[in-house]
Structure formats: C-alpha cells, structure tokens
Amino acid sequence: MIAFFNTQQFKDAFNSAKLILEYDSDFRDVKEKATFYEDKMKEGAAGFQIDPKMRELIGDHAIGRYKYVGKIGSGGMGVVHKVQDLKTDEIVAMKILREGLSSSGKAIDRFFREARIAATLHHKNIVNIFDYNISNNYGQSYIAMEFIDGPSLRDVVEQKFSETVDISSQDVLQALDWMSQLCDALDATHKKGIIHRDIKPDNIMIGVGNIVKITDFGIVHIEEATFTPTGALIGTPRYMSPEQVHGGRIDARSDIYSSGIILYELLIGSPPFISGDISYQQVNVTPTAPKEICPVIPESVNKIIMKCLEKSPSDRFQGALECKQLVDEAYVRLGGDPKRLRQESQIKLREQREKSASPATVQEGMLPKGFQQPSPLPIHGAPSGGGASHGNKIRTPSGSWDLSGIKESDSTFGDMDSDLDMS
C-alpha cells in the first residue's frame, strides 16, 4: 500500500487499503489512509480531463493538457486549430501535420525544424513556441504556439484593396511601422545565423496593438550549414530574391529583398511580379517603382523599397537594422509618433540586457514552458517512431540534429508549399 502511494499509484494504494479494511476494519490508521488515497485518486482523475476532439487530433498527448476550441485554417503542411492549454489556462494555436505527410521524412524533418528553431528565438515580433511533438504516426506531430488574435498581412492587403486602390498618409505610416517591426525581428534571427527564406504576407501576423509576429520557420536556412541540394528552389516565387531563385548561397539580404516586396505590396496591393515567368523576372527585370504606380507614395519610401529590391545583394541594405534606420527616419518625417520609436528602443535595450545576462547556449530554463531538452530516450518534443535519440543529437529520417544549439547537419528538404489559408 505504501509502496503504491510512493509511486503515486493511488488507485492501487486505495484498493490495497480496502482489502486490509475487509480483513480488519479497525486496523491501525488504514481507514484514514483509504480516504486519503481515494481523494488523491479523484484529484488525478479531475486533472486528466479528456477532450474527445483533441484525443482524436493528437491522441493521448491531449489527455489532461488540451481542450479544443475551433479550427483556424489549413495549408500545405498542416491544419491549425485554436485550443486551450489546461495547465496554463491560455489559448494557443496548434499546428498539426497534415494527414498523409506523417510518413514523409522530409515533412517530419521540416516540421521538427520549424518547432526546434523557432523555440530558440525569443523576440516580441516572433511567434513563441510553447510545446511540440514529432512522430511518424498520423495525428502525433503538432506544434503548440502563441495564438495571435489578429489577421495576417495577406488578410490586411486583401481587405484593404478589395475596397479601394487609394492609400492615405495613415496607410503609409502603418506600413512603415510594420516594416520597422519586421526589420527588428529579422535582425534577431539573422544575428543567430538564421535566414527565414519565406518572408511573405501569409507568414506575418498582426497581433493586439498592431504588433508584428513572424511565423512559419519551416524552410529556414542556417548560415554555414547546408540543407538544400544545390539548385533546389525553395520558397514562394513572388517573394524570392534573385539569388534564391538561382538556388545559390543566400544570406540575410535575401530576407531584406522579400521584406521590400511586402512593403511594396502594402502600398500597391500586389507584389511587383504577379504573372508570366515570375522567377525569370525576379532575376532579370527591374520592377516598376511603386511611386510610378501610386504617385502619393513619398519619395523617401519609394527609395527604401527600390533599394531593398536591388538585384545584386551588395546593392541592397546590408543588414536589417540599416533598413530599419531609414524606415524609422521616414516614419518620423512623415508625421509618425516618435514616442513609438523611443518605447521600442527601450524594449530593445531591455531585451539586450536580459540576453547579455543569460548563458550563450540554450539552457533548459530559457526554453518555453513545455519545451523539453533531449534525453537518451524518445521524449515529448522530439521525433518518435521514426527517429532515435543519442545524447544531444536526434536522428530523423534524413539526418542528424544537434539539439545543443542551432547547429544542424545532413538535412535536406524538398519544395513544399507552406501557405496557410486563414479563410
């Protein structure tokens, strides 16, 4: 009885106490213990709530942890649902790998990659990852992330330009504000040697207070590492840099090119190239300056966009902060509130101080709630069924992953659509 209690097997402890009481109802303090074990058993049952819908979606991982709220949207890789985390009582967005992809090594690798890399990025303009599980079994691979109660930039553009093609000075200021935040987030990722490679309106959410949140890190590129076969085309052509189209070596300036296209689209209603051989145009055709299409666009903003869209990386902004500086200057000159920039600078300074006070490597205490470090056994937050864990490395169907930092090896990814249809 005591042994069962010490291992928290309260039901067995309770049954043992009942057997003793049947033999001798007055034996020592067994009656009190039986009542105690019964209460513990009921507490455990109450804590392990089972939502049938969540059980259907992710199996036993849902027991006592998640409650279903509703569907958000679906895309090429997975379906996103709105769920309640019962442990924290918070609403989260859960991305579940689409049926049919659980047997794909490339899909599992990409899903694991998105979860693991995004979880190392802690920035107010990047969606937080709280929990994940990766498996070869259908319904077992999911990523639980910060729920953003707002539209994507794709939704913003479509709604805005379905009503009118005119833009106001406020529209310009709002676009610059979002661009500034985007540059901040990209600076944080680039400093870790991470290139997003799929910056587009679909992957940028707008949260409460007009806060930009970058999501979908499924096809990121890590500098000094090779994931993609030479010449492979990965990304979304309308937002790809010329060097990305070539399938050659890319760096932070590729994401800057894509960001310029987003600012272009926020003010014009569409990217520079929307028909014909888009890949050829990205490499060889100079886009029409946005000011030629919409004369009310300030020249300072026009110059920022066109510098982002230079064909040669050496002619673009050489870093996200260099771009942000001109964006912020234009924002203030055009009537934007300078207090926003001061508040933003204070937040950034505080983040830098917290970072400098923390270890350089990712430690267990720095990871989001529910995110577990690797161990020699298959664990929550690591591939199961299709991968084996070895110390700080996990082997997935296509290669070995070093989980001690953000360094990876021998992983290749095919060209898979990552669009998320929020409609």
Active-site residue identified among 131, 198, 216, 328: 198
Q: CA 143 to CA 130: how far, in whole Å? A: 8
Alpha-helical regions (H) of 59-204: 105-118, 153-163, 169-191
Which of the two residues, 260 and 104, has the higher pLDDT score? Answer: 260
Task: Report how far Cα 356 is from the mean position of its chain's Cα atoms.
Answer: 24
Over residues 228-275, the pLDDT tens digits come to 444 445 668 899 999 999 887 889 999 999 999 999 999 999 999 999
pLDDT for the residue numbered 346:
53
Region for residue 197 given its phi and psi (left: phi exceeds 0; alpha: psi -120 to 50; beta: otherwise): left
| DSSP β-bridge partners for residue 91 | 84
Most confident option among 44-58, 172-186, 188-202, 225-239:
172-186
Q: What CATH superfamily classification does 48-147+358-423 receive?
A: Phosphorylase Kinase; domain 1 (3.30.200.20)
| CB-based contact 61:134 (threshold 8 Å) | no
pLDDT for the residue 399: 41
Instruction: Read off the pLDDT band of 345 (50, 70, 90).
Output: low
Nearest partner of 208 among 150, 153, 151, 156, judged by Cα:
150
Dig out the tokens for 364 from the structure: 């267990």
Q: How many residues are given for the chain?
A: 423
pLDDT class for 348, splitting at 50, 70, 90? low
* Annotation: CATH topology of 153-336: Transferase(Phosphotransferase); domain 1 (1.10.510)
- Give the pLDDT of residue 30: 74
- How far, in Å, CA of 255 to CA of 198, rounded? 8
pLDDT at 114 over 70: yes
pTM, rounded to two decimals: 0.68
Q: How confident is the model at residue 224 (pLDDT cuts 50, 70, 90)?
A: very low
pLDDT for res 97: 84
Higher pLDDT: 11 or 284? It is 284
Q: Do domains 48-147+358-423 and 153-336 have the same CATH topology?
A: no
pLDDT at 414 over 80: no
Supply angle C-alpha 89, 94, 98, rounded to 5.
Answer: 155
198 assigned to active site: yes
**Contact partners, residue 178, CB within 8 Å, separation at least 6:** 153, 204, 206, 210, 212, 266
Enumerate the domain spans of the chain.
48-147+358-423, 153-336
Query: What are the CB-based long-range contacts (under 8 Å, 24+) for 290-299?
Result: 290/264, 293/268, 294/167, 294/267, 294/268, 296/167, 297/167, 297/172, 297/267, 298/172, 298/330, 298/334
| pLDDT tens-digit map of 376-407 | 323 333 333 333 333 333 333 334 334 334 33
* Burial call 8-17: b when 16+ CB within 10 Å, e when fewer: eebebbbebb
Query: Using alpha carbons only, how large is the chain's radius of gyration in Å?
Result: 25
Residue 293: in which H helix or E strand, if any?
Answer: helix 290-293
359 burial via Cβ count (<10 Å: 0-12, 13-18, 19+): exposed
- Average pLDDT value for residue range 27-52: 69
Instruction: Report the run of H or E that residue 73 belongs to, with start and end.
Output: strand 66-75
